[in-house]
């Protein structure tokens, strides 16, 4: 296999959906598996959304249901923001899957098995809480040597979004994040400080809708909801969080990353889930991650929207 094997771990809402479609259609990448996790919404919903996506877009990678709760707290879902099933829309919605079903193994065990059987080190692309990966590394520490890197959307080198200090994916399971950071597995982190530079706009909704197929209109309706999360009456540009990771795997030249020592706050009363990024390495601390600090935002969005348009045309 001459392509890069990628395992995607996700809590599929709209931006995970775009990231999944993009990464599955990268010529230099083979999507070897997908695991779902509680995060944006319940595990049942994230799994349903993922199965609907792979079915509609003809993505052949197997899907496995992972963890239904974080490591040390109740689920912290955000349906109030993203819609009842985590995949809000202004009108049409993705139909329930009728052909695709989850694999017979738990997502954590499926990830472990994939790592142990791989002939090439695997890249893990994580767009939700890191619960599945933390459990996998705890149960099978030997897989750390088979993981090329973990490329993850989460955290922030400045302010949060779910709270003033914490980005949602980390807040949803800070213990899992801390465990993965301390595992020694190479990590590349794409936080809010980066994704706020990557803005999807109403013009991008128009480009998707212009494909003209029923599925294109459905995807555009979901994007229209996403563009109205902040301002319900009028669409406004929104950070394209999870797809930034997919774009990085295809075009790393569009991004700048810096070495950092990253710690996650798990005990703070008002700072739980905060990612503290120390860039003064190695003087102040040994680096344990590469943190994305800048992006060519328009190039990233054009790439992701282009992949979506191509995929919609391919399945028309």
Active site positions, annotated: 241
Burial 56-71, CB ≥16 within 10 A → b, else e: bbebebbbbbbbeebb
Q: Give the CA-trace dihedral at 38, 42, 44, 45, to 10 degrees.
A: -110
Burial 246-267, CB ≥16 within 10 A → b, else e: bbbbbeeebbebeebbbbbbbe
Q: Say if residues 24 and 61 touch (Cβ distance below 8 Å).
A: yes
Residues comprising the chain, all counted = 316
Residue that has been written with the tokens 């936080």 in this structure: 191
Cα gap 233→216, rounded to integer Å = 22
DSSP code, position 11: -
Question: What are the structure tokens assigned to 236, written together?
Answer: 């406004």
Residue 34: strand pairing partners: 8, 63
Cα gap 34→238, rounded to integer Å = 26
Closest CA to 32 of 62, 58, 11: 62
Number of continuous H segments (helices) and E segments (strands) in the chain: 12, 11
153 phi and psi angles, rounded to 5 deg: -95, 120
Gap between the terminal Cα atoms of the chain = 29
Residue 51: strand pairing partners: none
């Amino acid at each position: 296999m001459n392509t890069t094997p990628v395992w995607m771990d996700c809590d599929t809402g709209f931006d995970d959906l775009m990231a999944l479609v993009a990464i599955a259609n990268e010529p230099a990448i083979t999507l070897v598996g997908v695991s779902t996790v509680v995060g944006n919404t319940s595990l049942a919903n994230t799994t349903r959304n993922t199965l609907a996506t792979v079915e509609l877009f003809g993505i052949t990678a197997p899907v496995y249901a992972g963890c239904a709760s974080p490591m040390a707290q109740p689920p912290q879902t955000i349906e109030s923001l993203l819609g009842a099933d985590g995949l809000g829309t202004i009108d049409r919605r993705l139909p329930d899957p009728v052909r695709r079903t989850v694999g017979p193994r738990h997502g954590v065990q499926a990830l472990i098995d994939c790592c142990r059987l791989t002939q090439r080190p695997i890249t893990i692309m994580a767009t939700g809480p890191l619960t599945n990966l933390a459990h996998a590394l705890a149960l099978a520490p030997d897989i750390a040597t088979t993981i090329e890197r973990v490329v993850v959307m989460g955290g922030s080198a400045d302010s949060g979004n779910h709270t003033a200090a914490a980005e949602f994916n980390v807040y949803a399971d800070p213990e899992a994040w801390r465990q993965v950071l301390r595992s020694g597995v190479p990590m590349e982190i794409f936080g809010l400080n980066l994704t706020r530079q990557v803005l999807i706009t109403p013009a991008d909704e128009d480009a998707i809708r212009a494909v003209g197929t029923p599925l294109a209109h459905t995807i555009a309706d979901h994007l229209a909801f996403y563009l109205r999360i902040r301002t319900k009456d009028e669409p406004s540009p929104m950070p394209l969080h999870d797809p930034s990771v997919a774009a990085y795997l295809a075009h790393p030249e569009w991004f700048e990353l810096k070495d950092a020592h990253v710690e996650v706050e798990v005990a703070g009363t008002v700072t739980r889930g905060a990612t503290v990024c120390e860039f003064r390495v190695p003087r102040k601390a040994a680096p344990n991650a590469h943190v994305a600090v800048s992006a060519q935002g328009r190039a990233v969005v054009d790439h992701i929207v282009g992949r979506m348009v191509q995929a919609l045309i391919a399945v028309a």
